[in-house]
Amino acid sequence: MRKLSDVLLALIPAILVFLLIVFEPFSGLDSMICDLLYRQMNGCGDTIKIISIDEETLAQYGPLSSWSREKSAELIDKLYENSDTAPAIIAFDIMFIGETDSNTDNALVEAVDKAQNVVVASNLVYRGKTAYTAGGIQYYDSWNIDTEERPYALLDERVNSGYANAMISSDGFVRTVQLYSYVDGEKRYSFATQIYNEYVKVFGRQNVSELPAEQAVRFFYSGKPGEFEHYSMKDVLDGTIPAEVFKDSVVMVGAYAPGLQDSYHSSADRGQDMYGVEINANICRALLNGKTANRAPLWIVALVTAVGLFVYTYLARKMKMYPAIIVGIWILIAGVLVGRLLATNGTIISLFYFILVLILIWIWIIIEKYVVEAIKRKQTLNTFKKYMAPQVIDSLAKSGEFHIELSGEKRHVAVLFVDIRGFTTMSEMLSPEQMVQILNKYLSLTTNCIFEHGGMLDKFIGDATMAIFNAPNDQEDYVYQAILAGLDMQKKGEELGKELLEEYGKTVSFGVGINVGDAVVGNIGCETRMDYTAIGDTVNTASRIEGKAKRGEVLISEAVYELVGDRIIAEFKEEMELKGKAQPVKVYEVKGIK
């Protein structure tokens, strides 16, 4: 049954991670984790350069909407003025839709004829998500394209155009590119894909990755906003930036000013938007360098992750807490490394749910291994408090130095014995039940007095009680505290005696004996049964002194008197012959505290 229970419990995180990966309730968080862990920001290189229509350019030439196409023609002429220093490709992330002034339209066409390798942007017009039926099955087309706004006819005949629409994910970030679409049955490429095609035509396929076959792929950014080489269009037109800078480069021209409203959230830097022309530059570089990927089938990722976490959970619950967590950390590191390796080779797997459930497993293990064990430990300590002073137990729990094993140490301790006087006579006159009640009241009284003064209840010996002070931990002023405990026992014993007299017509009183000295203190016994106690002559002498004490007396040895005699009221009683002692022992009776 235990093994079956372990298996069922290990299935819980496995089933949870499987469902999370398949249904993706936190797709935005998963995408964010993938953005952070799979990024390949290895530099933008010098192949692609951007000529930016920035605020300086707008300040010089006015709003973009007021420009004639002659300005773009002027830029092309400037760059291709010397064929030896001309760029390899020039791509305009600008719409040249519809005819305007014939002179400026023709000027742009003439400039394009001179440059030859020119790509311009078009725009797909979507109709939104629509439904259609094929083969009796209803499908939903989220890329339903109505038409494509392409360059004006004369220009369209001479250039390759591609749609520059940003493919925005559900969380608002751009990390995917739609490589091609079909418009009225014609296959049309995206702006970045068209630049890629032009690059291959100019330079060939040497050191260039194959274009992915999928219609839409995940691409990896090469740099954060502003990291591609970019130059103000104004500086290029006025000659501040020489055309030689762009020799054999892929030059992309586009908006680089906030007012042009062509910026998007990019997964390259979640705190700063990126301009559309720079996103297309990143896409183009990703296509050229093979930095694209597709998502692995969700059910396969879910199944593999679930099996892995099932095995880990099953084994971790049988391990100690820290090794289980350490193994889990290595599994986390391995998962991230596998994810990065797969991403580098073109496959994206979900990691957020794997990390989330793994952390939940750690919390579970911590609760199970630490909190539950702490509760058991506390219960054990509370049980020990029935035998030892609560403050001693608390001290041991904090120090963590109390180990239950057969051992002993030599300690200087005060030992107290207390016994009932008149208990045997009373027991002959009362029923067993009444005797147990009286004995329990007496033992509770002596125990409380011992605990109140920091002593350790060693044991009950019939109607006698033995206590040790200054064990197992060091205790301040322990000899004095032992005397206070003895006096309290006598005081409270008088009250108990009056109570018993009223109830049973009989009374009892106490005799107390205290000694101080070295004793062997520790766990004494055998592996199956042991007592934490003190043994030695100091203990035996204390017991003998208590045996000589009369009703209401607190007797102490000379060794005790020498240590605290200046703080107590005590009278020399006599030199007593004690069993096991070769020499008489001077004994004092404590009357009170100074």
Task: Determine the Cα–Cα distance for residues 21 and 437; give it in Å rounded to an integer.
Answer: 66
Query: 50 and 171: one domain?
Result: yes
Instruction: Specify if 346 maps to a domain.
Output: yes
pLDDT of residue 594: 87
* Structural domain contains residue 361: yes
Instruction: Tell me what pLDDT residue 473 has.
Output: 81
pLDDT at position 554 is 95
Query: How much is the pLDDT for 135?
Result: 61
343 is a domain residue: yes
Domain match, 405 and 374 both: no
- Looking at residue 164, what is its pLDDT? 95
- Residue 407 has what pLDDT? 64
Per DSSP, 192 falls in state: H
What is the 3-state composition of the chain as percent helix, strand, coil, each rounded to the nearest 5?
Answer: 45, 30, 25
For β-strands 167-168 and 173-178, DSSP reports them as antiparallel
Decide: 594 and 568 in contact? Cβ < 8 Å.
yes
Whether residue 411 sits in one domain with residue 376: no
Q: Are residues 279 and 304 in the same domain?
A: no
Q: CB-based contacts of 491: which residues, under 8 Å, 6+ apart?
A: none
pLDDT number for residue 420: 87
Residue 316 lies in a domain: yes
| Contact partners, residue 289, CB within 8 Å, separation at least 6 | 209, 222
Rounded Cα–Cα distance for residues 187 and 269 (Å): 33
Is 390 a member of any domain?
Answer: no
Domain boundary, last residue among 235, 266, 290 = 290
Q: What is the pLDDT of residues 234-281, one digit of tens each?
A: 999 999 999 999 999 999 999 999 989 999 999 998 889 999 999 999
Radius of gyration of the chain (CA): 46
What CA–CA distance (Å, rounded) separates 559 from 590?
14
Give the range of the structural domain holding residue 213, as residue numbers without chain letter: 41-290
Locate 528 and state its tokens: 């199956």
Pair 253, 376 in one domain: no
Residue 31 maps to a domain:
no
User: Do 254 and 109 fall within a single domain?
Assistant: yes
In a domain, residue 392? The reply is: no
Q: Residue 556 maps to which CATH number?
A: 3.30.70.1230
pLDDT score, position 109: 95
Domain boundary among 290, 311, 337: 290
Do 436 and 523 belong to one domain? Answer: yes
Both 336 and 277 in one domain: the answer is: no
Nearest to 173 by CA among 285, 334, 27: 27
416 and 533 share one domain: yes
Same domain, 113 and 233: yes
Q: Which of 97, 592, 507, 17 is closest to 304 using CA atoms?
A: 17
Name the strand (E) or helix (H) holding 499.
helix 478-504
**Residue showing tokens 């083969």:** 135
How many structural domains are present in the chain? 3
Spatial separation of the C-alpha atoms in residues 304 and 73, rounded to whole Å: 57
**C-alpha to C-alpha distances, 381 to 86, 385, 392, 457, 485, nearest whole angstrom:** 85, 6, 10, 15, 23
- The DSSP code for 208 is -
Q: Are residues 95 and 212 in the same domain?
A: yes
Q: Can you spell out the DSSP letters for 468-480?
A: EES-SS--TTHHH
Residue that terminates a domain, selected from 290, 325, 341:
290
Q: How many residues does the chain have?
A: 594
Contact 481, 475 (CB under 8 A): yes
DSSP secondary structure letters along 163-179: E---EE-TTSEEEEEE-
Tell me, what's the pLDDT at 144?
73
Low-confidence ranges of the chain (pLDDT < 50): 403-404
Q: Identify whether residues 347 and 484 lie together within a single domain.
A: no
| Residue 388 is assigned to a structural domain of this protein | no
